[in-house]
Amino acid sequence: MELLILMLASAWLAAVATWLGCRILQQEYGRYRATFQHDTVHSLADFFVFLDPRQLWGANLALACAVGGMSWLMLGHPVPAGVTGLLTLVLPRKLLRWARQRRFRRVDAQLPDFLLALAGALRSGAGLQKGLQQVCEHVQRPLGQELSLLLQQQRVGVNFSEALDALQQRLPTESVALVVATIKVAGHTGGSLADTLEQISRTLRTRLQLMGKVRALTSQGRMQAWIMGGLPPLLIAALYRLDPVTMEGLWTTPAGWAVLLLVGALEFLGITLVRRIVNIEV
pLDDT digits (tens, 9 = 90+) for 132-155: 888 888 888 888 888 888 888 888
Stretches in the chain below the pLDDT threshold 70 = 1-11, 16-17, 29, 46-48, 75-77, 79, 187-191, 280-282
Domains in the chain with CATH codes: 106-211 (1.20.81), 218-282 (no CATH)
pLDDT digits (tens, 9 = 90+) for 67-117: 777 877 776 667 677 777 788 888 888 888 888 888 888 988 899 988 888
Cα 36 to chain centroid, rounded: 11
How long, in residues, is the chain?
A: 282
Cβ atoms of 215 and 192 within 8 Å: the answer is: no
The residue among 89, 106, 87 whose CA lies nearest residue 176 is 106
> For residues 261, 264, 269 and 274, what is the CA-based torsion angle, rounded to 10 degrees?
170
Instruction: Name the DSSP letter for residue 139.
Output: P
pTM (2 decimals)?
Answer: 0.73
